[in-house]
Amino acid sequence: MKKTAVVLPMVSLRTTPNSVMETQERIVDILKKNSLSVTDSRKKILRYFLESDGALAHADIEHQSGTEFDRVTIYRTLQTFVDKGIIHTIPTADNAVRYALCKDDCYAGHHHDDHVHFMCDQCGTTYCLDHITVPGISLPAGFKAQQTDLVVSGICSKCNN
């Protein structure tokens, strides 16, 4: 139950109006819009997310980056991105938390990741099904829902042949 609640004004994340930005520019853009100083580690880690179609676990980033930066830096960077609403976590039952980019309407302290996630049992890829929203669940009396996480597992379209 450790939750850093930094409240900042709502800012948009992934897209910038009126231009097709280069990835590198978009990366810097996202960091600056979230009042984060632009460092090598943050740029690299954010790039991994932008260039990946699936979610990433800490270990994925650690393996991809090799010795480029410290493990601790990855942990701290991921936490910072979550706090700012740049990425969100995806619950799993396999002790490997995954992270994925948030959509525009997420901001510091307030995530809007009410979409369905899909984990492929075969290739292991975790997808954000951004356009499939989580249905409302009617709970027993006295229970108050704060957030709903829905993860479907099975075979993804790439593996399904």
Instruction: Kindly list the residues in this chain that would bind a copy of itself in the complex (CB under 8 A).
Output: 1, 89-97, 116, 118, 121, 124, 129, 132, 134-135, 137-158, 160
Cα–Cα–Cα angle for 1, 54, 75, rounded to 5 degrees: 40
111-133: b (≥16 Cβ within 10 Å) or e = bebebbbbbbeeeebbbbeeeee
120 binds Zn ion (CB under 5 A): yes
Q: Smallest distance, Å, CB 153 to a copy of itself?
A: 5
Q: How many CB atoms lie within 10 A of CB 69?
A: 18
Return the residues of window 90-129 that contact Mn ion according to CB under 5 A: 100, 128
Single residue of 96, 123, 129, 152 touching Zn ion by CB under 5 A: 123
The site partner of 13 among DNA, a copy of itself, Mn ion, none (C-beta below 5 to 8 Å per kind) is none
152: which residues sit within 8 A by CB, 6+ positions away?
116, 117, 118, 119
Which of 42, 117 has the CB closer to a copy of itself? Answer: 117
Of 17 and 135, which CB lies nearer to a copy of itself in the complex structure?
Answer: 135
Under 8 Å between Cβ of 117 and 85: no
* Interface ranges with Mn ion (CB under 5 A): 100, 128
